[in-house]
Amino acid sequence: MKCLFRILIAAVAALGSVAAVSKANAQSYPSKSVTIIVPFGAGSATDIITRVVGQQLSVVLNQSVVVENRPGANGALAALYVARAAPDGYTLFMSTNSPHSAAPFLMKNVAYDVVKDFTSITRMGSYTLMLVTHPSVPAKSVKELIAHAMANPGKLSYASGNTSGVVAGATLRHWAKIDLLHVPYKSAPPAIQDVLAGRVSMMFNDFTTSMPHVNAGTMRALAVTRIQRSTLFPELPTMDQAGVTGFDMDSWAGIFAPAKTPPDVVKLLNTELRKIIDSSDVKAKLRNAGFEAFSSSPEELESFVKVQLDKWGKMIKDAGIQPE
């Protein structure tokens, strides 16, 4: 009995030591540079908004914040890297609906769990996608585009630089029953270059990287993907208004850390990031980049992720996309 008592006392003491070390680590955080992993290439919308926020976070944490791009596999490569990183707050993940909502349904083998392997920090906000075409495509509306595709089966193609582009293109193809060739890319910038060059007919892409080309006349914008018109481009109809009934895609971004990141670190990051994201200066910068910024509590983001999993799973199934 005395031996058992000693073992219990030792176990309690050990747990106390672990808690004390964890608390000490949290209180000293951050004592070195913080890295934010981006699942897409440099110049992508996610890369741009991460750098805006990272610059501000570096100031408030008084440490350098490094933005590291790890594109590939619909963001799954970056997600797996973060899931396996040390849960100490020094590796963060600017995730989106690509690795966190769609990849589990687009890929047969995803080696991470979007709920269990991550600690939610805060929402970042939402992207709005627009359907853009090369000017040589003889269509100035979604209705005309569908009619042209029907009259020329297999002649039109659509690029994708992320899962939003994959699912949006497949949804249009399935809904309209048109023959479109899918041309996938690791990130939006190279996809845009091929649309600009006329090598690919069209793509669903974010405002951030599309607007300069639309304004320059080198791309034609036909519609936005949200169910409501965008305040950034109010003259464009929604896909639903353009005749693709029920089309509603709202792409999102949020900041995560590996699972089991200390609660005190999560609280500090959430507090500081919410101040940054909700500041009028950062909101304006991100709005100019075509991104609607707003923050959330960790609990709100965690609940949101679960809802989005169901939503994207249904969209992918309805579009007839088979996991690869």
In a shared domain, residues 50 and 190: no
Q: At residue 192, does pLDDT exceed 80?
A: yes
Among residues 189, 224, 259, which one ends one of the domains?
224
**Window from 4-18, 80-94, 121-135 with minimum mean pLDDT:** 4-18
Please indicate, yes or no, whether residues 137 and 103 belong to a single structural domain of this protein. no
Average pLDDT over residues 64-69: 98
Residues 294 and 155 in one domain: no
159: left (phi over 0), alpha (psi -120 to 50) or beta: beta
Considering the domain architecture, whether residues 98 and 30 belong to the same structural domain is answered as: yes
pLDDT given at position 136 = 96
Residue 6: inside a domain, yes or no?
no
In angstroms, the CA 305 to CA 254 distance is 9
On whether both 101 and 133 belong to a single domain, the answer is no
In this prediction, residue 18 has a pLDDT band, given cuts at 50, 70 and 90, of: very low
Is the per-residue pLDDT at 172 higher than 90? yes
Position of tokens 């023959």?
179
Summarised one tens digit per residue, pLDDT across range 239-270 is: 999 999 989 888 899 999 999 999 999 999 99
Average the pLDDT over 219-242 and give the result.
Answer: 91
Report, as an integer, the average pLDDT of 208-216.
90
Q: How confident is the model at residue 4 (pLDDT cuts 50, 70, 90)?
A: very low
Using CA atoms, how far apart are residues 123 and 277, in angstroms rounded to an integer? 9
Q: What CA–CA distance (Å, rounded) separates 125 from 287? A: 10
Residue 219 has pLDDT above 80, yes or no: yes
The answer to the question of residue 14 being in a domain is no
C-beta of residue 221 within 8 angstroms of C-beta of residue 212: no
- DSSP assignments along 156-219, one per residue: EEEEESSHHHHHHHHHHHHHHT--EEEEE-SSHHHHHHHHHTTSS-EEEEEHHHHHHHHHHTSS
Percent of the chain with pLDDT over 90: 76
The verdict on residue 244 lying in a domain is no
Tell me: do 56 and 196 sit in the same domain: no
Nearest to 165 by CA among 206, 113, 123: 206
pLDDT of amino acid 26 = 53
Q: How far apart are CA 302 and CA 286, in angstroms?
A: 23
- What is the tens place of the pLDDT at every residue in 266-292? 999 999 999 999 999 999 999 887 889
**In the listed set 224, 259, 294, which residue is the last one of a domain according to the structure?**
224
CATH number reported for the structural domain that contains residue 135 in this entry: 3.40.190.10
How far, in Å, CA of 41 to CA of 43, rounded? 6
Does residue 19 fall inside a structural domain? no
Q: Of all residues in the chain, what percent carry a pLDDT higher than 70?
A: 92
Residue 303 lies in a domain: yes
Q: Determine how many CB atoms are found less than 10 A away from the CB of residue 303.
A: 13
115 and 156 inside one domain: no
Which pLDDT belongs to residue 301? 98
Residue 241 within a domain: no
Residues 52 and 99 in one domain: yes
pLDDT of residue 84: 98
Which residue matches tokens 């270059």?
193
Residues 168 and 262 in one domain: no
Q: What pTM was estimated for this model as a whole? A: 0.84
Residues 216 and 261 placed together within one structural domain of the fold: no
Position 51 pLDDT exceeds 50: yes
Please check whether residue 16 lies inside any domain of the structure.
Answer: no
If asked whether residues 30 and 123 sit together in one domain, one would say yes
How far is residue 129's CA from residue 6's CA, in Å, rounded to a whole number? 63
Residue 298 has pLDDT above 50, yes or no: yes
> Is 8 a domain residue?
no
pLDDT value at residue 25: 52
CATH code of 299's domain: 3.40.190.150
Which pLDDT score is estimated for 230?
Answer: 85
Residue at which a domain ends, from 224, 258, 274: 224
The answer to whether the beta carbons of residues 66 and 55 sit under 8 Å apart is no
Same domain, 113 and 262: yes
Mean pLDDT confidence for 85-89:
98
User: How many domains, the chain?
Assistant: 2
> Over the chain, what is the mean pLDDT?
90
Domain that holds residue 307: 25-127+250-318
Reply yes or no on whether the pLDDT at 97 is more than 60.
yes
Q: What is the pLDDT of residue 266?
A: 98
